[in-house]
Amino acid sequence: MLSLDEKKIRKGKPIGLPYQGSKKKISKKIIEIIKQNFGTDKPIYDIFGGGGAITAECILNGLEVYYNDLDKDITNAFERVISQDREWIKTLIISREEFFEIKAKESKTTDDFLKLLVNSFGNNKLRYLYNKEISDLKYNLAKEIIEKHDVFSGYKQTETYKRSIEKYKQLEQLQRLQQLQRLQQLQQLDEVKATNKSYHTFSDVSGAVLYLDPPYEGSYQESYINSFDSQEFYNWAFEMAKNNIVIISSYKISDERFEAVYSFEKARSTYQSGSSDNGKNEKLFMVKNS
Ligand SMILES: C[S@@+](CC[C@H](N)C(=O)[O-])C[C@H]1O[C@@H](n2cnc3c(N)ncnc32)[C@H](O)[C@@H]1O
């Protein structure tokens, strides 16, 4: 098992793009686990980097990191957010109507991709964030708050929000803009260079920490990822572990050569009972006896 002294975890919010399967909720812990158990001198390869939560956390901790994802749209989006300013972020919230117009476009720009990400339910880029009945109300309210008060996160204190006829618990669009703004902290730090290769291309790497967060076994994925071959990936990861520290994020790995070395406890809700290790916790896996 790996250890974690929670007192050492970086204070402050985690950062990363709103993205399906994002590790933002546990990224601070993951990097602290790596630091405490394997030191800070090895480069970290975030090969299935997605929305960049792990890469961002490495940068904030001053660790050397390589950010990669097969999907160029997501790494472009990450780089675009960092290279732009706060004013530009405001252009990313869109109405339900605009959402479906962009979704139908044959060729999409990086900004189009970001708009779909930021304004979709579960960040799935397919469905608009809100259902039809409340879409316009919530969108118009968010727009008005930005225009009149120029805030993302403090929106509940604004007159516009307090006066809104119906009280909405959350304005998710503003919360997501806030997430993008947090990502812009990286502007002052190291430049992030992304690559868009398949994991196989990293076969020659040695003496590094490979943090691997592949599409989950048997889960629904978008078209081309559909063909993700988990067994082939485990064979590769097993080989790579001979010359590297290989850490895989997953709920469950069916390959017996790997074992869970850390389990992230979920905040338990009152209707959950019994043992907490029910295969539903996110875990870190490594090759057995490595
Ligand atoms: C679970 S997500 C990673 C999420 C990421 N850790 C984050 O915090 O946002 C899995 C990622 O693997 C990428 N992917 C799928 N097949 C790949 C391959 N063969 N090589 C590299 N990346 C791949 C997908 O594009 C997707 O972004």
> What digits encode the pLDDT tens for the residues 249-272?
999 999 999 999 999 987 655 544
Q: Quick one: which atom of ligand 1 is closest to the CA of 47? A: 21
Q: Give the rounded percent of residues in the chain with a pLDDT score beyond 90.
A: 83
Residue 80 lies in a domain: no
Quick one: pLDDT band at residue 191, thresholds 50, 70, 90?
confident
Residue 191 lies in a domain: no
* pLDDT at 225 (0 to 100): 47
Confirm or reject: Cβ of 35 under 6 Å from ligand 1.
no
Residue 63 lies in a domain: yes
* pLDDT at 169 (0 to 100): 76
* Burial grade of 56 (CB within 10 A; 0-12, 13-18, 19 or more): buried
* pLDDT at 17 (0 to 100): 96
Confirm or reject: Cβ of 210 under 6 Å from ligand 1.
no
Give phi and psi for 48, each to the nearest 5: -110, 55
Looking at residue 277, which CATH number applies to its domain? 3.40.50.150
Q: Among the listed ranges 25-34, 130-139, 168-177, 224-233, which one has the minimum average pLDDT value? A: 224-233
* pLDDT at 65 (0 to 100): 96
Confirm or reject: Cβ of 258 under 6 Å from ligand 1.
no
Q: b/e for 179-194, b at 16 or more Cβ within 10 A?
A: bbbbbbebeeeeebeb
Within this chain, do residues 27 and 109 fall inside the same structural domain, yes or no?
A: no
Count H helices and E strands in the chain, helices first. 10, 7
Residue 1 lies in a domain: no
Within this chain, do residues 220 and 253 fall inside the same structural domain, yes or no?
A: yes
Q: How far is residue 133 from each of residues 96, 124, 126, measured CA to CA in Å?
A: 11, 20, 18
Distance 216 CA to ligand 1 centre (A): 10
Confirm or reject: Cβ of 48 under 6 Å from ligand 1.
yes
Which has the higher per-residue pLDDT, 216 or 205? 205
Question: What's the domain range around 137?
Answer: 87-182
Distance 155 CA to ligand 1 centre (A): 33
Confirm or reject: Cβ of 46 under 6 Å from ligand 1.
no
Distance 123 CA to ligand 1 centre (A): 15
Calculate helix-pair angle for 53-60, 27-38, nearest 10 degrees.
Answer: 50
Beta-carbon contacts of 66 under 8 Å, excluding residues fewer than 6 positions away, are 43, 44, 45, 46, 47, 193, 195
* pLDDT at 71 (0 to 100): 96
Q: Quick one: which atom of ligand 1 is closest to the CA of 228? A: 16
Residue 129 lies in a domain: yes
CB atoms within 10 A of CB 2: 14
> What digits encode the pLDDT tens for the residues 7-61?
999 999 999 999 999 999 999 999 999 999 999 999 999 999 999 999 999 999 9
Within this chain, do residues 96 and 175 fall inside the same structural domain, yes or no?
A: yes
Within this chain, do residues 92 and 35 fall inside the same structural domain, yes or no?
A: no
Residue 161 lies in a domain: yes
Within this chain, do residues 137 and 171 fall inside the same structural domain, yes or no?
A: yes
Within this chain, do residues 108 and 248 fall inside the same structural domain, yes or no?
A: no
* pLDDT at 4 (0 to 100): 97
> What digits encode the pLDDT tens for the residues 64-73?
999 999 999 9
Residue 190 lies in a domain: no
* Rounded Cα–Cα distance for residues 262 and 260 (Å): 6
* Domain total in the chain: 2
Within this chain, do residues 93 and 123 fall inside the same structural domain, yes or no?
A: yes
Query: Which of the listed residues 182, 208, 230 is the one where a domain comes to its end?
Result: 182
Confirm or reject: Cβ of 69 under 6 Å from ligand 1.
yes
CA 55 from chain centre, in angstroms, equals: 10
Dihedral sign computed on CA atoms, order 16, 42, 73, 231 = negative
Residue 188 lies in a domain: no
Query: Which of the listed residues 132, 157, 182 is the one where a domain comes to its end?
Result: 182
Query: Which of the listed residues 182, 216, 242 is the one where a domain comes to its end?
Result: 182
CB atoms within 10 A of CB 175: 14
Residue nearest ligand 1's atom 20 by CA: 198
* pLDDT at 266 (0 to 100): 77
